[in-house]
Amino acid sequence: MSNDEDLLNLSKRIIEKIERSMADRTSYFKESEEERNEMCEAMEKLIKEEQSEERAETRLEMAISTATKMIKSGKYSDEEIIDLSDLSLEKIEQLRKVLTGN
């Protein structure tokens, strides 16, 4: 056998071993009602965390959008922008620099 074939065979054996190990581990969660509930609770927790992160990102995007419009209009003070967007003064100053190129 060539080195390439040896490497390919070794890779296949490693992948098979990993697949068996994963199957063994996931079957643990399926053996009893309690274990299934534990798995469901873990999945629900992961989903809730992901949704929470997505909501936070959406809120930040909305705040940046609001502040951008306010800065571009030139009608609002920093304090008003802070109050309406919930962004910090530092973030507003950074945004202003990006928008004005300064």
Q: What is the pLDDT of residues 46-86, one digit of tens each?
A: 888 888 888 888 999 999 999 999 999 999 999 999 999 99
How confident is the model at residue 28, as a pLDDT?
Answer: 62
Query: Which SS3 state, helix, strand or coil, does residue 13 take?
Result: helix
Query: What does the alpha-carbon distance between residue 91 and residue 24 come to, in Å, rounded to a whole number?
Result: 49
Global pTM value: 0.55
Query: Which SS3 state, helix, strand or coil, does residue 30 take?
Result: coil
